[in-house]
């Protein structure tokens, strides 16, 4: 009885992307049913059919919450899913959404800067014998991470545009990623260029118009003069920093020498 109800809800969820409020009411209903069937977490006594249903429910929940940009809810669903993914294939045949959800989770970790967890997750995937790089959903965040790390921001940018995105849910992160790479580029430009012409800054920062460039430059405190951007703040900060460093160096040397003297005293 409950199982049939669950099936109905699932088909409803899968059929078309519902608005989040509707989806979440359906999901909470589904979770209540799972609770009644005591299949919220897998145990040895749970029948395989129910396991599949429970997993599908969580997967739909994860996708719905990512569409609604609710990263907390998404993380919760992923955590609930992980025991199901650990099950052997003869108990629970792997479904279609697994790599998609895992890939999304990786992307989430990447955008939140949780690199340690990102790599831990990756390590787990590669030891499980999944072809990580070849997979459409999993390869995407991994490539992004590699490019971000080496600094090929233009490739990241291209990967986000032009239908390179494996599925629509991945598009959710593009805003965050764009913001991220833009600030990365800005901070490296401050150090790398003495000055930049406005026109080329537009393409450098992947902005649409020069007006947007001016806005962005203001937000970062850059000075615009005769169609050229100067980064005075960085220079000033650097000089001040150097002076500070000088002071620190002498202080450090004094401290070290005193330390050596004390140690010598104890040894001799």
Partner 1 sequence: MPGKTPDKEPVENGGYRGGKDIDMTDKDLKPKGKKSIKDGDDEMTVVVPPSKSSKHSSAPPPNDADGDVAMDDSDKAEDGAVKVDPIVQTISDIKSNFALLDRAVTLFDARFSLRALRSISSIRKRLTPDILAQVISETFAANSASSHIAKGLLLAMGKGDVSLGRQPGPEMEIDSEPKSKNGARKEAKEIIPEIDIFIGILTQVLLFDSKQTQRGFEFSSHLASRVQSLNRRTLDSLSAKVYYYLSLFAEQLAPLPPSPQSSIVSIRPTLLAALRTAVLRKDTDTQASVIVLLLRNYLSTSHISQADLLVSHTQFPENAANNQVARFLYYLGRTRAIQLRYTEAHEHLTAATRKAPSSACALGFSQTATKLLMVVELLMGDIPDRATFRQPAMEAALQPYFLLVQAVRVGNLEDFEIIIADHADTFKRDGTYTLILRLRQNVIKTGIRMMSLSYSRISLRDICIRLHLGSEESAEYIVAKAIRDGVIEATLDRERGFMKSKEVGDVYATREPGEAFHDRIRACLALHDESVKAMRFPMNQHRLELKNAQEAREREREMAKEIQEGDLDEDDLGGEFEGM
Q: Give the range of 20-28, 39-47, 142-150, 161-169 binding partner 1 by CB under 8 A.
A: 142-150
CA dihedral 143, 147, 152, 155 (to 10 degrees): 20
Tokens of 76: 């919760």
The answer to whether 185 contacts partner 1 (rule: CB under 8 A) is yes
How many positions of this chain bind partner 1 (CB under 8 A)?
Answer: 45
Q: How far is the CB of 234 from partner 1 (least distance, A)?
A: 10
CA dihedral 52, 54, 60, 62 (to 10 degrees): -120
Please state whether beta strands 223-225 and 195-197 pair in parallel, antiparallel, or not at all (unpaired): unpaired
Enumerate residues 6+ apart whose C-beta is below 8 A from 136: 99, 166
In the set 19, 48, 93, 151, which binds partner 1 (CB under 8 A)? 151
In the set 223, 236, 252, 258, which binds partner 1 (CB under 8 A)? 252
Q: Give the range of 2-10, 63-71, 99-107, 196-204 binding partner 1 by CB under 8 A.
A: 196-204
Q: Give the range of 28-36, 55-63, 94-102, 187-195 binding partner 1 by CB under 8 A.
A: 187-195
Q: Give the range of 11-19, 69-77, 99-107, 188-196 binding partner 1 by CB under 8 A.
A: 188-196
Find the binding residues for partner 1 in span 103-132 (CB under 8 A): 115-117, 119-120, 122-124, 126-129
Looking at the DSSP bridge assignments, the partners of residue 119 are: none
Enumerate residues 6+ apart whose C-beta is below 8 A from 171: 165
In the set 19, 47, 197, 211, which binds partner 1 (CB under 8 A)? 197
Looking at the DSSP bridge assignments, the partners of residue 228 are: 197, 225
Enumerate residues 6+ apart whose C-beta is below 8 A from 138: 99, 102, 103, 106, 125, 130, 132
**Which residue in 61, 39, 65 sits closest to 50, CA to CA?**
39
**Binding string, residues 199-238; x marks residues near partner 1 by CB under 8 A:** -x---x----------------------------------
Binding positions for partner 1, rule: CB under 8 A: 86-88, 115-117, 119-120, 122-124, 126-129, 146, 149-155, 184-185, 187-194, 196-197, 200, 204, 245, 249, 252-253, 256, 260, 263, 267
């Amino acid at each position: 009885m409950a199982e049939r109800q669950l099936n109905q809800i699932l088909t409803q969820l899968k059929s078309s992307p519902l608005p989040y409020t509707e989806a979440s009411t359906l999901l909470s209903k589904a979770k209540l049913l799972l609770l009644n069937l005591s299949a919220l977490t897998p145990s040895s006594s749970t029948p395989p059919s129910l396991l599949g249903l429970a997993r599908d429910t969580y997967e739909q929940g994860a996708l719905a919450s990512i569409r609604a940009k609710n990263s907390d809810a998404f993380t919760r669903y992923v955590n609930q899913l992980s025991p199901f993914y650990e099950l052997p294939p003869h108990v629970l045949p792997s479904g279609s959404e697994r790599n998609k959800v895992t890939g999304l989770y990786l992307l989430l970790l990447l955008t939140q800067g949780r690199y340690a967890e990102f790599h831990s997750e990756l390590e787990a995937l590669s030891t499980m014998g999944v072809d990580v790089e070849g997979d459409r959903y999993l390869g995407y965040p991994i490539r992004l991470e590699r490019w971000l790390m080496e600094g090929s921001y233009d490739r990241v940018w291209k990967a986000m545009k032009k239908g390179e995105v494996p599925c629509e849910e991945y598009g959710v992160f593009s805003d965050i990623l764009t913001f991220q790479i833009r600030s990365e580029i800005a901070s490296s430009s401050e150090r790398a260029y003495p000055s930049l012409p406005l026109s080329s800054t537009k393409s450098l920062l992947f902005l649409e118009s020069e007006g947007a460039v001016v806005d962005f430059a203001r937000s970062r405190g850059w000075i615009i003069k005769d169609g050229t951007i100067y980064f005075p703040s960085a220079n000033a900060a650097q000089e001040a920093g150097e002076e500070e460093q000088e002071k620190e160096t002498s202080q450090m040397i004094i401290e070290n020498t005193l330390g050596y003297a004390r140690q010598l005293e104890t040894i001799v």
